[in-house]
Every structure is written in C-alpha cells, then in structure tokens.
Amino acid sequence: MQWLLIAISLAFMGLFLVMPLYAVFHEALRQGVGVFFQSLQSRDAQSAIRLTLLVAAIAVPLNVVFGICAAWAIAKYEFKGKAFLITLIDLPFSVSPVISGLVYVLLFGSGSLLGPWLRANGVEILFAVPGIVLATIFVTFPFVARELIPLMQDQGTGDEEAAISLGANGWQTFFRVTLPNIKWGLLYGVLLCNARAMGEFGAVAVVSGKIRGQTTTMPLQVEMLYNEYNGTAAFALASLLALLALVTLVLKSILEWRFGDELAASGRH
Amino acid sequence: MATAAPIRAGWRLKQPSVIPGFGLTLGFTLTYFSLIILIPLIALMLRAAGIGPAGFWAAATDPRVLASLRTSFTTALIAASINVVFGTLIAWVLVRYRFPGRRVFDAIVDLPFALPTAVAGIALTAIYAPSGSIGALFAPLGIRIAYTPIGIVIAMVFIGLPFVVRTVQPILEEVSREIEEASATLGANRFQTITRVILPGLAPAILTGFALAFARAVGEYGSVIFIAGNIPFVSEIAPLLIVIRLEEFNYTGAAVIATVMLSISFLMLLFINLVQAWSRKRYGYGN
C-alpha cells in the first residue's frame, strides 16, 4: 500500500513537474549546443536579458524596503486595523496578472485622466520601462512582507526593547539587532520575489507594448520567438529562465534545511 | 506619564511602545500600498462603473464574455479538484513515508512557483501537442489534449499543485500519530481511520488549498495561453479576453471583465478567511 501511494505520487509529479522541466532543456538543445549559444547571443536575446535584470534590480529592492517597513509596523506594535492590513498586503496574490497590468494601462493610458498630461510632458510610462517596473512591483508586492511578518511576530519585541533601553537609537537597533535576526527570512523572501519578478509574463505583457529590443523582457521574448515558430531560440531563452528557477529551488531548499528554525514556520509555501 | 489625571485611555490607534519608527514604517507601508495597489485598482473599478449599470450589465453579459468566464471557472474548478486529490496524496506521502529522493521531490513541488509561467506554457505545449511525447500517445485514439479545454486543465493543474501540497503538508506534520493509533486500538480499520479521523482534521486545510489553487487557476494567463488554442466560445479564458479587448482599444470592456473577475476573487478571499477563522475555532489551527 505504502509503495503504491509513493508510486502514484511520484508518477504524478514526474508527469506534471519533471517532464515539463526536462522538455525545456531537451527542446533548447535539440539542434545542438552551437545553435543554442548562437540564439542566446542574438541582439534581441541580449537586450531581453538586460531588461529583465534591470527590472528585477529596481522592483525587488523597493519591495524589500516595503516588506521590512510593513513587517516592522505590524510586528512591533499593537494598533487598530492590523489584521485588515495583513489581508490587504496579500491582495495582489488574488488578482490575475493580466489585471495587474491592466490597472496601469487604465491609469496612464490614452483614455485616462493622466494620459494626455503625461504625453504633453513627454513622460513615458506605458510601453516603456517604468510601466514594466510598476507591473512587476504589483505582482511581487507581498513576497517579502509575507515572509517577514510571521517571523518578526514570532520574535516579539524583547530584543529591540533591550537595545533601546541600553541606549541604541532606532537605526542602530534595526541594523544591529533586528536585521541579524531576520536575515535568513529576508533572503528567503528576496529569492521568491526575484524569481517571480524575472519570470512575470501576464502583467508585463499587457503594459510592455512588446517593442522588440526595447520593452521585451525574457519571458516576452520567449513568447515572440515561439509565436514566430522559432522554437529552438524560444526554448534556449526559456532554458535560462528554467535554470533560474532551479537555482531558486536549490537555494530555497538549502535555506529551509539549514536555517529552518530561523524562517517562520508558517512562512513556508 | 500623566500621573495625576485619572483619565481612562479612550480610543487610541496604537498601544504605547518604546520602539521608535511606527509613524515612518506604517506611513511608508500605507503610502506605497495606496500608490501601487489601491489607487490603480480603484481607477479600474471607476472606469468599469463609468458606463453606468445598464452598460456594465450589457458588457458583462456579452455572450463571448460569458463563454470565456464559463471556460475559466469550469476548467479552474476541475483543475483544483484534481489538485486536491493528488496534492493531498503527495503531502501524505512526503510527510509519512521515507524513500530515496524524498527531499528532491519535496523541493520540486515548488517548481511551479519558481518556473516562469510562459516557460511552463511552452513546455507543456511541447509535451501535449499531437506531435509531443504524451500528445502522440493520445493522438491515435482521437484525443487531442493541447489546443482544447483539456490542455487548459493540464496547465492549471501544473500551477495549482503546490498550493494544495504546501497548505496540507504542515498540518499533516502536526497531526499526531497517536490519534490514529487510538482510533486503531478502538477497533477502527485503516479505511475508517482515514475517512473518520484523519480527513476531517485536514478538511479546513484541504479547503483552503483548494480555494488558493482555484483562485490562482482562474487568473492564470502565461501557462494557459500557449496550450489553450484560444478558440472563442471553446477554449478562450477570461484573462485572454481582457488582453484582446485591450488590443481592440476597448479599455472599458477590458475593465468590465476585470471587475467581474476581481469581485469573484475577493469573494473567494473572504471565503478562505472565513474557513480559516472557523478552523482556528474548531481545530485550533489555521494559517
């Protein structure tokens, strides 16, 4: 019975999880290593990689600052409406990625209140990097905060109160007491946030305008190549993203095994 | 502080604390949330409401819109149900049994969280297309998986699986074996122990996992559109119709579909919170 259940589970995971992963690398290398590297060196692929790195480099730190602020406010104080605020922070997870992009099209697009003013002043948000960054921030919004909130709530306020009573100021308390306490949980949140930021497709597709070589991130470039029946190039670029996913999983597992106690128990997901 | 005044502390936003930074951190949190999430969402709803109740109703009940919503919600329902069965089984196997490679499989459960949806989409299509490794097995039988609603379900099963496993797993780890042993010593057979003792205790977690997987599947775009075939009235999902409306510059039409989807999502979120509050009361746990 036990082995039957194990066999069914592993077969299901093999079919739904391992096979797609294998398929990415198999398709990418189908025409040989030469073609693989050649397609990665194309100018469009290079610019897509650069844009993806740029977007993640802006979106992730902003969400880190937000996550730390939100967790500090929620974990270190008792105030009215706290439970509601925690629910609100998770809100972006229940919004379809397409809608996360759509909101900015409606806010900044030609039919909106802001649209004509932005155009008159030469500010480009939609179909440009700022729009892509905004949509990415939207979809990755809760990642850091939801790791840190339960962790910092578990840790309580004792360490900080001790530091303050010994004469430390707020910043010293944060950098010398709180940050060392939460560093692994923070890294865990950053890891998940970054994976999603680099891989986001739906929200970014809506706001990017898909201008080749300018506003196509890696996932968008994958789609364009795929729709042009350039499967090998699409899968070559996709294999880089799959590699990123694998690295993320490995690092995440290492964090869970080595520092499981220092990550919030309820923070696993 | 005020020693002399015996005034009862009335309503106050925050309990006193010696730790500094409340104004700064809460202020930044609320400002950032308003700018990034709240104001854009309100703008969306205002845009949808701007055409009036009659116009909204007409746009929301357009046959193609209704068909896409039906496709999204039925396929998501089927996928979430499949995920509940296999997700619970996988959680059980990972928690209870020891076998070679268990840690690797435990880590791989999270693959759908880490793998970009577009990558998952083209990979699944490559496998399930009539020329793909699994699609080719079904093609002689006259069964097409990719480019039909079955393909949509496959993609939604992929992205929803970790939600069920990761919700059920920690609860299963806490449920003590002693309860099962007690049930066995009281004369229950294995089947009775599972259906009457273990599953009722897991029910709130399973229901939460189901709701999370369902909510994610309804909104999913990247992994679905490649494998769906996107035939209007057959395999066109609601998020795709939003994108099509945008490409037609029908911003209001897009906003209406989005508002309908958001309303249903918020009801789901409310449902999850109620289940968890109920479960905390009934079983003493909940996320």
Got the DSSP string for B263-279?
A: HHHHHHHHHHHHHHHHH
The sign of the dihedral angle between the CA atoms of A65, A69, A75, A76 is positive
pLDDT at A112 (0 to 100):
81
Question: Looking at residues B124-133, what average pLDDT do you find?
Answer: 94
Q: Is the dihedral of CA A102, A104, A108, A112 positive or negative?
A: positive
pLDDT band at residue A264, thresholds of 50, 70 and 90?
A: low
Nearest-angstrom CA–CA distance, B258 and B242? 7
Choose among A6, A141, A241: nearest Cβ to B97. A6
Residue extents of the structural domains in chain B? 41-283
Task: Identify which of A66, A164, A265 has the shortest CB distance to residue B29.
Answer: A66
What the block records as the tokens of B103 is 């840690």
Among chain A residues, the shortest Cα distance to B44 is held by A103
Verify whether the Cβ–Cβ distance B111 to A109 is below 8 Å. no
What confidence score (pLDDT) does residue B5 get?
Answer: 46
Provide the percentage of residues in chain A whose pLDDT is more than 70. 98
Alpha helices (H) in chain A, listed in sequence order = 2-13, 19-28, 32-40, 43-76, 82-90, 97-108, 114-120, 129-140, 142-155, 158-165, 170-173, 179-199, 202-208, 218-227, 231-259
Q: How many CB pairs under 8 A join A and B?
A: 286
Show the tokens assigned to A145: 């905060």
Average pLDDT, chain A: 93
Q: How confident is the model at residue B277 (pLDDT cuts 50, 70, 90)?
A: confident
Position B193 scores a pLDDT of 84
Specify the pLDDT at position B2. Answer: 44
A17, A157, A200: best to mutate for the B interface, most B CBs within 10 A: A17
Find residues 229-258 of chain A whose CB sits inside 8 Å of chain B: 231, 234-235, 238, 241-242, 244-246, 248-250, 252-253, 257
CA–CA–CA angle A41, A46, A50 (5° rounding)? 155
Which residue has better confidence, B1 or B16? Answer: B16
ipTM exceeding the 0.95 mark: no
Instruction: Report CB contact under 8 Å: A199, B266.
Output: no
Burial class from Cβ neighbours inside 10 Å (0-12, 13-18, 19+) for residue A175 reads exposed
Flag whether pLDDT at A268 surpasses 80: no
Measured CA to CA, the distance from residue A135 to residue A180 in angstroms comes to 31
Q: What is the pLDDT of residue B175?
A: 78
CB contact under 8 A, B158 and A17: yes
pLDDT confidence of B3, banded at 50, 70, 90?
A: very low
Closest-CA distance, A116 to chain B, in angstroms, reads: 16
Above pLDDT 90, what percent of chain B?
Answer: 70
* Contact criterion met (CB below 8 Å) for A85 and A66: no
Identify all chain A residues contacting B218, using CB atoms and an 8 Å cutoff: 96
Task: Using an 8 Å CB-CB cutoff, list chain B residues near A97.
Answer: 117, 219-222, 239
CATH topology of domain B41-283: MetI-like fold (1.10.3720)
In sequence order, what are the beta bridge partners of A79?
Answer: B14
Determine the pLDDT at residue B270.
84
A7 touches chain B (CB under 8 A): no
pLDDT digits (tens, 9 = 90+) for B156-199: 999 999 999 999 999 898 877 788 888 888 988 888 888 888 88
- Give the residue from B122, B174, B220 with the most A CB atoms within 10 Å of its CB, the best one to mutate: B122
Per-residue confidence (pLDDT) for residue B6, from 0 to 100: 47
Q: Is B148 helix (H, G, I), strand (E, B) or coil?
A: coil
Gap between the Cα atoms of B165 and B83, Å rounded: 9
- For B24-42, write each residue's pLDDT tens digit: 999 999 999 999 999 999 9
Contact A89 B242 (CB under 8 A): no
Residue from the list B21, B110, B222 with its beta carbon closest to the beta carbon of A201? B222
Average pLDDT for A132-138 = 97
Q: Which of A6, A104, A202 sits opposite B99 (nearest CB)?
A: A6
CB-based contact A51:A128 (threshold 8 Å): no
pLDDT given for residue B9 in this prediction = 55
The Cβ of residue A41 has, within 10 Å, a number of other Cβ atoms equal to: 10
Which pLDDT does position A269 carry in this prediction? Answer: 42
Give residue-wise pLDDT tens across range A5-22. Answer: 999 999 999 999 999 999
Q: Is A58 on the interface with B (CB under 8 A)?
A: no
CB-CB contact of A248 with B110 (8 Å)? no
Of the candidate ranges A30-39, A109-118, B198-207, the one whose mean pLDDT is the lowest: A109-118
Tokens of B17: 């604390």
Asked if B219 lies within 8 A of A94 by C-beta distance, the reply is yes
Give A166-221 pLDDT, tens digit per residue. 999 999 999 999 999 999 999 999 999 999 999 999 999 999 988 888 999 999 99
Kindly report the number of other CB atoms within 10 A of residue A179's CB atom.
12
Q: Which residues pair with B14 in a beta bridge?
A: A79
Which is nearest to B262 in space by CA: B115, B31, B52, B46? B46
Inter-chain residue contact A102 with B43, CB threshold 8 Å: no
**Closest Cα of chain A to B7: distance in Å?**
20
* Among B32, B36, B168, B245, the residue to mutate for chain A (most A Cβ within 10 A): B36
Q: Do B116 and A245 touch (CB under 8 A)?
A: yes
Spatial contact of A236 and A39, defined as CB atoms under 8 Å apart: yes
End-to-end CA distance of chain B: 38
Whether the predicted pLDDT of B7 surpasses 70: no
